[in-house]
Amino acid sequence: MPYIKQDDRDKIHNIQDDILSNIAASIRDTSDLGYVLTAVAYQYLQKEKQHPESNLHPSVVKKIDELKSNVSYRIVPFLQTSVTNFLHEFHPSSVGEVNYVMTYIIHTYLNMVSISYTNLNNVIGTIEKLKLDFANSIVNLKGHADQLQMFDAFLGILVCVQMELYHMIARPYENTKILQNGPVSSLDAPHGVDLKKYKRPCQVF
């Protein structure tokens, strides 16, 4: 989850006078967003590869190198230097720090372009593409089970970023729209009723 301690947030934002905020504010569209998220996400795997006690299976090392190359083909020239400088000093000590950085970038972008169904849909689609690209790239990967756990952790970061985005931003936005425009059918009508009465949707099991 992205809700890391303030000290850990300060450490991240102190990198080169908060270059992270400059990167996030420079993103123009979801293509730029996809490049930055990819670069940040694969930094986690690169860190695991470089750990002195990792002793990774050669096939795992090869796969990390292949995944890292995915960043190169998506390079956005005007962002490349800033992203490279940030990643040079960003050494996440937990998956939460990677999640925080990705979530911060996404929130900054959404604040710039405004919260709308179209913008939320495009951002969620960008994350989904990153997940699919990653999942497809590790099909049939061989190696020690304990070493392959890092790939589970990596995919978990992407899933949690996407789920938290929907839960904290997209779902409340949809709640306002069901109140404004009404439900689609009787299936979602109870949500609108509970929102009006209790200021929250009903739970469906």
pLDDT for res 101: 97
Contact status, residue 134 vs residue 158, Cβ threshold 8 Å: yes
Q: Are 35 and 75 in contact (CB under 8 A)?
A: yes
Q: pLDDT category, 46, cuts 50, 70, 90?
A: confident
The span from the CA of 102 to the CA of 38, in Å, is 9
**pTM of the predicted model as reported, rounded to 2 decimal places:** 0.87
CA distances from 132 to 128, 172, 187 (A): 6, 26, 30
At residue 93, the pLDDT reads: 86
Half-sphere exposure of 45 (CA within 13 A, CB side): 30
Q: 103-147, pLDDT tens digit by residue?
A: 999 999 999 999 999 999 999 999 999 888 877 777 766 666 666
Of the two residues 129 and 197, the one the predictor is more confident about is 129
Domains of the chain, residue spans: 6-169
